[in-house]
Amino acid sequence: MLLLATWLGCSCQPPPPEILIVTVDTLRADRLGFAGHDGAHTPALDALSSRSRWFSQATTPLPRTTPALASLHTGRWPHHHGAREVGDRVEITETLASTLAAAGWQTAAVSAMAVAGPEQGMDQGFDSFHLDHDARAATITEAALSIAAATDPTKPLLMWVHYADPHFPYQPPADGPLQPSAPGCRALVRRVARKQLRRVEIYADRGGVASSVLGGCRALYDAEIAAVDAAIGDLLEGWHTLRRSEGWLDRLRGSPSWIVFSADHGENQGEAGLFYEHGPDVNDASLRIPLLIEGTGVEPGRDDGVVRLEDVLPTLLSLAHVPAPDGLDGLDLGPRLQGLPGEPRIAVAESGSALHAGLFDHVVSGGSRLSCVNGARYSLCRGAGGRQTLHDHSVDPDLREDLAAELPEVVATLEAAAAIWPPESARQRAARTERFKLVGTPQLQGGYSWALYDLAADPSESVDVSSDHPEVVAQLHEALAAWDAPTPEALERDEDELQALRALGYVE
């Protein structure tokens, strides 16, 4: 006993921190109880928020799963880590897991999304990586705790757990905490499952098919989140029990422990005319994400300053006293975790491409198999075989009647636009402070149209106030120039990749 007391009283350095990162797919920042949503049932996350630093203005660099999570794991923007669309492979090998593994950490991951797995390089640096595509949250928690229980309690552990449940179609478990009736949205989901309705018809709200059941779909979305919250509650309880009971000597010495909770992106539910989808625009509905950080020395409370998902890696490496790789785009949040003011930041982001050919509000829609250049009325489309067709999408949204022979002048105009914007290249871009957001939208004739939104007065991003704030516009343009993402090239995807994207509703 005397030896134990002597050891506990020594000036030994505390052991390295345990790190648990929990992310949820397609989770809006405004649909949680601690964020003020009255319809939320999120007791576990609400409790975590009370112990955490809550960054209320956190954003993703690109509102699609693979690019966003790659930024979390690399601390780099998508055009620097190489994954700029869902399903792309990460080109950077220096990740949070690989860096900590080299410093002596055990590393483990559990993912419920096929586009956040080994095929995309998400397993780099992890000793074990368990992928169970589209598994329920409770199943993911069970797998994570089983893997954690098998690790060495005398060595520090980094674990990442990614849940998928809120992703459309919204189908909360029958035994979940919330059970809304939502007959209209449930019928919509059944039609999708039976392939009686194409995803693009929902996303574009053709005939009001999505907007007419918005209330019910929001309720089902909240029910999905409630089920994830319950699973996260079980995960947190199990995590603390396992790591404290098995590594009890380290716990007595005051081993630090860090928990990060966030999301890859949010979800449009009518914003920017897009329903139950995310990615092709930079509206805050998809761009903003929750971010909580709990740990030793953290000052619980709310931070309303700009934070980016790519800031997580340098922050955790700093807390772990592990040197960060060179070339990071993210910045250490260290002082702000203690409630101290930080330097003003600007979040820069881009959208994904409009992967469905029927999203005619975008200059380019579709991908390498079928891509369309869209004017106000007509779409010039090209299939994988190179055949080119012209359609009046205002009356022919299914692109059945070819008008190319009748309207050669329209074809010529759209061909010129196609030369400017190859498939998957036309993306919105944005730069954001706490109050203002500058959005660039690709134009048919080339270049971007620009609009500045005052998010405090206009959270729906509908009124351009550029002329009232020229100095803000200049500041945000400067940030975008420094970011300077090149135009991406369309990727040829094999059938396995396309099948995975179809299952998630990204392509038809």
Confidence (pLDDT) at 488: 54
Confidence category of residue 355, pLDDT binned at 50, 70, 90: very high
Is the model's pLDDT at 8 over the cut of 90? no
Read off the pLDDT of residues 441-469 as tens digits, 9 standing for 90 and up.
999 999 999 999 999 999 999 999 999 99
Confidence (pLDDT) at 313: 99
For the segment 188-209, the average pLDDT, to the nearest whole number, is: 96
The Cβ-side half-sphere exposure at 61, using a 13 Å CA radius, reads 30
Provide the whole-model pTM: 0.92
Q: Is 336 exposed, middle or buried (0-12, 13-18, 19+ CB in 10 A)?
A: buried
DSSP string, 355-370: -STT-TTSSEEE-SSE
Residue with tokens 């619980």: 300
Nearest CA to 429 among 439, 437, 444? 439
> Which letter, b or e, does each residue of 264-280 get, where b requires 16 or more Cβ atoms within 10 Å of its Cβ?
bbbbbbebbebbbbbbb
User: Where does residue 36 fall: left (phi above 0), alpha (psi -120 to 50 degrees), or beta otherwise?
Assistant: left
Is the model's pLDDT at 65 over the cut of 80? yes
For the segment 166-186, the average pLDDT, to the nearest whole number, is: 97
Confidence (pLDDT) at 14: 65
- Point out the least confidently predicted range of 35-39, 102-106, 200-204, 422-426: 422-426
Read off the pLDDT of residues 327-342 as tens digits, 9 standing for 90 and up.
999 999 999 999 998 8
Residue 435 sits at φ, ψ, to 5 deg, of -105, -40
Torsion of CA 360, 364, 367, 368, to 10 degrees: 130
Confidence category of residue 494, pLDDT binned at 50, 70, 90: low
Whether omega before 169 lies within 30 degrees of 0, making that bond cis, reads: yes
Nearest CA to 44 among 174, 239, 299? 239
Q: Could you tell me which residues are beta bridge partners of residue 158? A: 19, 107
- Find how far residue 424's CA is from the centre of its chain: 19
Read off the pLDDT of residues 225-264 as tens digits, 9 standing for 90 and up.
999 999 999 999 999 888 655 444 444 445 678 999 999 9
DSSP reduced 3-state for 442 = strand
What domains are there in the chain, each with its CATH number? 16-340 (3.40.720.10), 364-420 (no CATH), 429-483 (3.30.1120.10)
Q: Hey, how many other C-beta atoms are within 10 angstroms of the C-beta on 326?
A: 6
Confidence category of residue 13, pLDDT binned at 50, 70, 90: low
Confidence (pLDDT) at 3: 31
Confidence category of residue 423, pLDDT binned at 50, 70, 90: confident
For the segment 290-311, the average pLDDT, to the nearest whole number, is: 96
Confidence (pLDDT) at 243: 65
Output the CA–CA distances (angstroms, integers) from residue 384 to 372, 381, 427, in the order listed: 12, 10, 21
- Work out the mean pLDDT of the chain and round it to a whole number: 92
Confidence (pLDDT) at 210: 98
For the segment 42-70, the average pLDDT, to the nearest whole number, is: 98
For the segment 7-14, the average pLDDT, to the nearest whole number, is: 49
